[in-house]
Chain A
Amino acid sequence: MGKLKREQIYTILVLVSVVIMWKLSTIIFNLSALVLPPPEKVLSRAMELFKSGTVQKHLLVTMQEILVGYGYGAVFGILVGYILSKAIVLEKALAPYILIFQTAPKISLAPLFVLWFGLGMTSKVVLIALVTFFPIMINTIVGVRSTPKEYYELLTILKATRIQRVKVEINNALPEMFSGLRIALVLSLTSAIIGEMMGAKEGLGVLLLLGNEMYDLALLFVVIIVISLMSLFLDVFMELIQKKFLSWHQLGD
């Protein structure tokens, strides 16, 4: 390819013109850095923050929280989801609570978790695990339940073992499960930041609050951009895994 498409050039032009307008408005309206820092100030602040390793340090903490919390959420979500997809009565009995929990703003629990688990990573990990658990669990239930009746009949005829059955069910549920996993991954970043803003010593959320307290807008800009790129990275990463796992699915459909 090599050559950019027309729209891609426009996309870049939009960015360039936004930066130019940003710069111009700081000059024309003579805005102080407390209202809107000029682009080059944000850039130099970014360099400074990266050179000193500040951003990396906090980014790493947030990443770690996400990885661990999301890991727990995914493992328990899939496990519980699979069990509930089989235990129909139990699932029905739990249905009202599941509904309440799904719609409830679970991030309200953040202060409570800080109280219980302290200002360290644990409180964030628990919050992320809780938030990511639900979409993954629900999509697993939906996915496993969608296994066609004929599959079971075939498996019975073939005298398939228990493990083979589960394999077929999981394979069938994969597309649904992945969409749950993807939603959960985006949510995990939101919860990490919220948890850190509620109470933490390190993490991008802490950096945001710091920027707020010090009126350091350049810092805020840098952190927001870092968070944006991180969310983009997580989403693209997940999409790639999904594509790899589900290559058969596109063909089958």
Chain B
Amino acid sequence: MKRNWRVYLLSIGILILIIGSWKFYIIKYDISDYMLPSPEKVLFKFIEILLDGTLLRHSFATSMAIILGFGIGSGLGFFGGNLLTKSRSVEKTIMPYVFILQSTPKVAFIPLLVIWFGLGFASKLILVVLSAFFPVMLNTLMSFKSIDPSYFELMNILKATKRQIVFKVKVPLSMPMIFAGLKVGMVQSVIGAIVSEWVSGQSGLGYLLVFGSTQFSSDLLMAGIFATTFLGLFFYGIIAVVENKVLFWHRTKQIVLEA
């Protein structure tokens, strides 16, 4: 996608317009810092918590849950999806539950998880695992099932081994859909981690948000919101970059369709 300088200019113009009207609105209507802090105050707050290590500490706590939980959840999702393709009747038997569970908002489990596993890392981790698991599992299952059977016939003609069929054809051909599932799962994982920290919070960016709002320090709250935005973008970006490398042969619509 080549964008010319005009578009860049317009992009920057829009940003300036938004920040400008934000500032203007505050001056014109004399808005209190509590309701809406000015852009520069939010920026200073952001820099302040960045420099004193607060931001880093909380980002680290959230990131740990995301990395671990997403890793476990997507790994299990891949295995689960793979396992379900092995037997038609097992698939049909448990699919209704899978569908119900995957469309159920995982955040609804937070209060329960907090009671069972306490206010700490464990309940947050489990929620992230759940968030990543379902999209990856469903996409793995769907993609395995949608492979053109001719590929398997080709492999049989060539007398390929089971291993070869899985690793040379099945898994690589499924990668586009699996990556789509990974992206959805990642977006959900970030949400899961943050909301989990609201409820069970002792640390993490979600905790920072709640802390900001209960301390009536809206500049901290907004700085926190920007931090979660960067975090979401960062983790999503990692997957997108890996996908771009791995799936150089597959031209996707580079579009996310989840929260």
Q: Which of B70-87 contact A (CB under 8 A)?
A: none
Q: Is the CB of A227 within 8 A of B228?
A: no
In the complex, A248 has a CB within 8 A of chain B: no
Additional pairs, 19, CB under 8 Å, beyond known A11-B96, A135-B258: A11-B93, A94-B11, A95-B3, A97-B15, A103-B187, A105-B232, A107-B194, A108-B225, A108-B229, A112-B221, A134-B259, A138-B255, A183-B257, A187-B259, A220-B112, A224-B104, A231-B100, A231-B103, A234-B103
CA distance A193 to B221 in the complex (A): 20
Q: Which of B83-113 contact A (CB under 8 A)?
A: 89, 92-94, 96-97, 99-101, 103-112
Residues of A within 8 A of B (CB-CB), count: 65
Q: Is the CB of B222 within 8 A of A112?
A: yes
Q: Which of B19-27, B206-214, B241-249 contacts A (4 or more CB under 8 A)?
A: B206-214
For the complex, would chain B's binding face be called helix, strand, loop or mixed by DSSP majority? Answer: helix
Give min CB distance, B223 to chain A, whole Å. Answer: 11
CA distance A134 to B255 in the complex (A): 11
Known: A131-B259, A187-B259. A232 touches B99 (CB 8 A): yes
CA distance A102 to B100 in the complex (A): 25
Please, what's the 1-or-0 string for A216-248, where 1 marks a CB less than 8 Å from any CB in chain B? Answer: 010011011001100110110000000000000
Which residues on B are within 8 Å of A, measured CB to CB?
Answer: 3, 6-7, 10-11, 13-15, 34-36, 89, 92-94, 96-97, 99-101, 103-112, 114-116, 187, 190-191, 194-195, 198-199, 205, 209-210, 212-213, 218, 221-222, 224-225, 228-229, 231-233, 236-237, 253, 255-259
Q: Is the CB of A105 within 8 A of B191?
A: yes
CA distance A99 to B100 in the complex (A): 29
Q: Is the CB of A187 within 8 A of B258?
A: yes
In the complex, A38 has a CB within 8 A of chain B: no
Name which residue of chain B comes closest to A232, CB basis.
B100
Name which residue of chain A comes closest to B103, CB basis.
A231
Name which residue of chain A comes closest to B187, CB basis.
A103
- Pairs A-B, 5 closest by C-beta atoms: A212-B111, A7-B92, A93-B10, A190-B105, A10-B93
In the complex, A194 has a CB within 8 A of chain B: yes
CA distance A191 to B11 in the complex (A): 29
Residues of A within 8 Å of B257, CB to CB, are 135, 138-139, 179-180, 183
Partner of B89, one of A6, A106, A135, A228: A6
Residues of B within 8 Å of A95, CB to CB, are 3, 11
Residues of A within 8 Å of B34, CB to CB, are 115
Known: A100-B229, A208-B108. A197 touches B89 (CB 8 A): no
Q: Is the CB of B107 within 8 A of A194?
A: yes
Partner of B221, one of A111, A208, A217, A224: A111
Give min CB distance, A164 to chain B, whole Å. Answer: 28
CA distance A163 to B53 in the complex (A): 57
Q: Which of A129-152 contact B (CB under 8 A)?
A: 131, 134-135, 138-139, 142
Q: Which of A142-182 contact B (CB under 8 A)?
A: 142, 179-180
Residues of A within 8 Å of B7, CB to CB, are 89, 92-93
Q: Is the CB of B10 within 8 A of A10?
A: no
Residues of B within 8 Å of A212, CB to CB, are 111-112, 114-115, 199
CA distance A31 to B104 in the complex (A): 27
Residues of A within 8 Å of B109, CB to CB, are 224
20 A-B pairs, CB-CB below 8 angstroms? A11-B96, A11-B97, A89-B6, A92-B7, A97-B14, A104-B228, A105-B190, A105-B191, A106-B259, A108-B225, A111-B210, A111-B221, A112-B221, A187-B258, A190-B259, A209-B199, A212-B199, A220-B115, A231-B103, A235-B99
Q: Is the CB of A142 within 8 A of B253?
A: yes
Residues of B within 8 Å of A125, CB to CB, are none
Residues of A within 8 Å of B229, CB to CB, are 100, 104-105, 108
Residues of A within 8 Å of B195, CB to CB, are 107, 194, 197
Residues of B within 8 Å of A105, CB to CB, are 187, 190-191, 194, 228-229, 231-232, 259
In the complex, A43 has a CB within 8 A of chain B: no
In the complex, A20 has a CB within 8 A of chain B: no
Q: Is the CB of A108 within 8 A of B258?
A: no
Partner of A227, one of B89, B92, B105, B255: B105
